[in-house]
């Protein structure tokens, strides 16, 4: 790895990220059923119908996992809290085992000198709330606020940072328009409602945490750099529409109190009543903004109904996800986010990493491709910093190989290999390279 800690400004933070359903083992500890259990149990949704029932068994192995985070020299650990583990029915009765788990997990981070960077929602909505409409129902903002209160009353005093919702585009669009994630809905009206309610819920959770006296609260959005697949005006328009839906909707809502016209042109007829009045809540002041970045997309016009956009395969080298490797997009996003939306607010790269085939050979996993991927994206961070963008930290996705949602366990993103039969952890070359870089 070319980069090392000392190449970055004093105080720049390095971390690694995971999420509850992807690693904990959702069947343990009294967690309630979630939309991901239901989605996985429905034939055709998930590769080999795999679920997060056991995952990496982080629920019982968390101490050893945190030892790995600390031993690598990371400053922060970004993790998420499972709503269904805390409130099995989404509301009402609390699962004390779940609260106790997150309490122990928090203390285990602090004991190792790691800053806890929590996310309240990384996709496992309690099934009982889905029965009441889930993200389509405006009441979800109040349900989410109540859940935020319950969990943060217990651990909020020890959080270094909190973001309410990971990747609102995935919660709303991927899951309610494309139907590729739970709850697997393909419906423009459901999507429009989810696109708005996810931000309303974010704002309500921020209000709750401010009232508890908590600081360092932010938002985490995912981004794909959208480029026209050819030089026709139609392709340029398709890319702009994709950009508006994917990248600009959430930043515009959070930081401008408005939605982009190019996205509203299709979604406005389906928006919930009175949506225009919710921006004061959505725009609750934030202390930082996190960007999750992996790839770019090439777009062309499609013959179908709005948004009439088609993805075109690009020529660049790809990861196992079939995602083109394009560090330039991270640089562009950091610059654009600061100049158009967030100004002087600290930015963090809250996720970046790649899936590769990663086989264990004589006790080693040689994942040099991942080392290069991380290195080249760190270069993009440095370029943006050199041009004055306030980027204050970088988190690798992910600590462990884990449950890659609809793609099951095959897509390995970890710095640490997990054998899903024995659950043995083996740090990969990338883990060792980062350890050397962080300690240098």
The binder of ligand IFM chosen from 50, 75, 167, 358 (CB under 6 A): 167
Under the binding rule (CB under 6 A), the answer on residue 50 touching ligand IFM is no
The nearer residue to ligand IFM, 52 or 116, going by C-beta atoms, is: 52
User: In the annotation, is 224 catalytic?
Assistant: no
Closer by beta carbon to ligand IFM, 8 or else 242: 242
Is the CB of 58 or the CB of 138 nearer to ligand IFM? 58
Alpha helix (H) residue ranges in 24-137: 35-40, 58-71, 83-86, 96-111, 127-130
Q: Which of 50, 167, 224, 324 is catalytic?
A: 167
Interatomic CA distance for residues 401 and 211, integer angstroms: 37
Strands 115-121 and 76-80, sheet pairing: parallel
Name residues whose C-beta falls within 8 Å of residue 393's C-beta, 6 or more positions apart in sequence.
12, 13, 14, 15, 75, 76, 348, 349
- Does the protein bind ligand IFM through residue 351 (CB under 6 A)? yes
Is position 19 an interface residue for ligand IFM (rule: CB under 6 A)?
A: yes
Joined tokens for residue 91:
């509301």
CB 235 within 8 A of CB 242: no
Catalytic, 167? Answer yes
CB of 399 to ligand IFM, least distance (A): 12
Query: How many residues belong to the site for ligand IFM (CB under 6 A)?
Result: 8
Note whether 404 binds ligand IFM by CB under 6 A: yes
Q: Which of 24, 50, 224, 351 is catalytic?
A: 351
End-to-end CA distance of the chain: 11
CB 34 within 8 A of CB 84: yes
Shortest Å, Cβ 119 to ligand IFM: 10
Using CB under 6 A as the binding rule, whether residue 34 contacts ligand IFM is answered as no
C-alpha Rg value of the chain to the nearest Å? 20
Using rule CB under 6 A, residue 350 touches ligand IFM: no
Distance CA 19, CA 372 (A): 24
By beta-carbon proximity to ligand IFM, the closer residue of 22 and 161 is: 22
Answer for the pair 65, 77: CB distance below 8 angstroms, yes or no.
no
- Coil/strand/helix, residue 394: strand
Q: Which is nearer to ligand IFM, 19 or 385 (CB)?
A: 19
Shortest distance, position 351 Cβ to ligand IFM, whole Å: 5
* CA atoms of 142 and 227, how far apart (whole Å): 38
Establish if 352 lies at the interface with ligand IFM (CB under 6 A).
no
Shorter beta-carbon distance to ligand IFM: residue 75 or 351: 351
- Of 225, 258, 439, residue with least CA distance to 334: 225
- Helical (H) or strand (E) element with 125: none
Closest approach of ligand IFM to the CB of residue 305, in Å: 27
Q: Is 356 in the site for ligand IFM (CB under 6 A)?
A: no
Closest approach of ligand IFM to the CB of residue 183, in Å: 16
- Cβ atoms 193, 135 nearer than 8 A: yes
Q: Shortest distance, CB of residue 315 to ligand IFM, whole angstroms?
A: 22
Among 161, 292, 337, 352, binds ligand IFM (CB under 6 A): 292
* Active site positions, annotated: 167, 351
- Rule CB under 6 A: which residues touch ligand IFM? 19, 22, 167, 292, 351, 397, 404, 413
């Amino acid at each position: 790895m070319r980069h090392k800690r000392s190449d970055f400004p004093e105080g720049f933070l390095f971390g690694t990220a995971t999420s509850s359903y992807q690693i904990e083992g959702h069947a343990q500890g009294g967690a309630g059923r979630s939309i991901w259990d239901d989605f996985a149990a429905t034939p055709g949704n998930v590769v080999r119908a795999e679920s997060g029932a056991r995952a990496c068994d982080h629920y019982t192995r968390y101490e050893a996992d945190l030892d790995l985070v600390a031993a690598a020299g990371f400053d922060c650990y970004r993790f998420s809290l499972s709503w269904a583990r805390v409130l099995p029915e989404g509301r009402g009765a609390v699962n004390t085992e779940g609260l106790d788990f997150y309490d122990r997990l928090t203390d285990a981070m602090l004991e190792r000198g790691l800053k806890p960077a929590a996310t309240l929602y990384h996709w496992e909505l309690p099934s009982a709330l889905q029965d009441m409409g889930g993200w389509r129902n405006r009441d979800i903002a109040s349900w989410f606020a109540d859940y935020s209160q319950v969990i943060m009353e217990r651990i909020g005093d020890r959080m270094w940072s909190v973001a309410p919702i990971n990747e609102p585009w995935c919660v709303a669009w991927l899951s309610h328009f494309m139907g590729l994630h739970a709850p697997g809905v393909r419906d423009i009206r459901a999507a429009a409602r989810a696109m708005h309610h996810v931000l309303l819920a974010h704002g309500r959770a921020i209000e709750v945490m401010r009232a508890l006296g908590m600081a360092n609260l932010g938002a985490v959005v995912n981004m794909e750099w959208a480029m026209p697949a050819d030089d026709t005006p139609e392709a340029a328009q398709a890319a702009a529409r994709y950009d508006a839906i994917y990248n600009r909707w959430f930043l515009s809502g959070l930081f401008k109190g408005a939605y982009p016209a190019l996205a509203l042109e299709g979604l406005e007829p389906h928006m919930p009543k009175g949506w225009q009045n919710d921006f004061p809540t959505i725009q609750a002041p934030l202390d930082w903004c996190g960007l999750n970045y992996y790839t770019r997309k090439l777009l062309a016009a499609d013959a179908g109904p709005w948004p009439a956009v088609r993805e075109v395969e690009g020529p660049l080298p790809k990861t196992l996800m079939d995602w083109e490797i394009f560090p330039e997009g991270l640089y562009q996003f950091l610059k654009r986010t600061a100049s158009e939306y967030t100004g002087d607010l600290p930015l963090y790269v809250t996720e970046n990493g790649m899936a590769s085939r990663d086989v264990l050979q004589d006790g080693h996993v040689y994942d040099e491709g991942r080392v290069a991927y991380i290195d080249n994206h760190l270069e993009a961070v440095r370029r943006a910093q050199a041009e004055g963008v306030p980027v204050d930290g970088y988190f690798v996705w992910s600590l462990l190989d884990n449950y890659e949602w609809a793609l099951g366990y095959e897509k390995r993103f970890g710095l640490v290999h997990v054998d899903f039969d024995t659950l043995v952890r083996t740090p990969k070359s990338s883990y060792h390279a980062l350890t050397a870089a962080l300690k240098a």
